[in-house]
Amino acid sequence: MTDAALTNHVFDVDQQTFEAEVLQASLTTPVLVDFWAIWCEPCKTLGPMLEKLAAEYNGAFRLGKVDVDKQQELAGMFGIRSIPTVVLVKDGQVLDGFAGALPEGQLREFLSRHVQPLEAIEQAVEEEAAPETPDQALTRLQQAISAEPDKAELKLELAQALMRAGQTDAAEAALTALPANLAIDARAVRLRSELDLAHALKGAPTRAELLQRLQADTGDWAARDQLGVRLLLEGDAEAGLEQFLLILQKARDWNDGQARKRLLAAFATLDDAELVSRYRRRMASLLF
């Protein structure tokens, strides 16, 4: 094997480099060790195929080449009796191997038992990292419900997915249809609060219009209430909570104590425990 044929994925192995480049390296990347000789005719068929696969797998495994004529002691360590012989070293141990020049299809099958191409690994990582879209969640859950129509838990998940997809009417219908034991589930309670807040914005003015109304009249509690809901649902939770607290402070009985109800609904939907705890204390200080 000439220097020109060497790549990052294919390298020559000798007694001195075996420990570091094969055993130690296999702790992170599998190493396929090819025992060959220049006079071996089957080696001339197998070697190029292994090098091709090493390049194709692009670092998912490395190919170490051992010339048995030059490295007789190393070949003896592995008990090599015929060539070509190939062994797979993974996690510092010989995991598998074969003797003879296998056809490419069998080589691929052998590799598939122990090694994944990096492209497949990267794709799997990307798929795992990529968040599921609302539409994907709906499709997945609808298929799961078709397969298991009596599994009520899936119907609660579907109601949540409908809410995330902005289908509030459908989410409410799915929530209403849940059996009694799931209707009091914490997720169902949270979803009900989210729906209450979303309903408050039906037909509501834009944020700019609400701010304009409040600039003209700071005691426009309806505008302040809708602004609080809009800020909350648009991701500015703290600013939204501030609007409800101001109503609670200045007009606690407005609209049958709606500011308190809004705060409780908001607390049920927020994941930030520190924020919720802080505003619960502030609400309590105004009420008691």
Least confident interval from 69-73, 116-120, 172-176, 231-235? 116-120
pLDDT of 217 strictly over 90: yes
89 bridge partner residues:
31, 94
- On the 0-12 / 13-18 / 19+ scale of CB atoms within 10 A, 263 is buried
Q: State phi, psi for 34 to the nearest 5 degrees.
A: -105, 110
**pLDDT for residue 126:** 54
**pLDDT for residue 4:** 39
Q: What is the pLDDT of residues 94-133, one digit of tens each?
A: 888 999 998 888 898 898 888 876 554 455 445 555 677 8
Contacts of 89 (CB under 8 A, 6+ apart): 22, 23, 26, 30, 31, 32, 33, 95
- Give Cα 51 distance to the centre of its chain: 34
Q: What is the pLDDT of residues 44-63, one digit of tens each?
A: 999 999 999 998 888 889 99
pLDDT of 282 strictly over 50: yes
Q: Mind giving me the DSSP string for 159-215?
A: HHHHHHTT-HHHHHHHHHTS-HHHHTSHHHHHHHHHHHHHHHTTTPPPHHHHHHHHH
**pLDDT for residue 2:** 40
**pLDDT for residue 129:** 54
Q: How many alpha carbons lie under 13 Å from residue 246 in its C-beta half-sphere? A: 18
Tokens standing for residue 3: 């220097």
Question: Quick one: average pLDDT of 212-239?
Answer: 94
What are the catalytic residues?
Answer: 40, 43
**pLDDT for residue 284:** 93
Average pLDDT, the chain: 88
Least confident interval from 117-131, 140-154, 179-193, 226-240? 117-131
Question: Quick one: average pLDDT of 14-22?
Answer: 91
Contacts of 219 (CB under 8 A, 6+ apart): 250, 251
> What letter does residue 95 receive in the DSSP assignment?
E
pLDDT of 241 strictly over 90: yes
**pLDDT for residue 130:** 64
- Give Cα 29 distance to the centre of its chain: 23
Contacts of 209 (CB under 8 A, 6+ apart): none
Q: What is the pLDDT of residues 4-13, one digit of tens each?
A: 334 578 999 9
Distance CA 207, CA 229 (A): 10
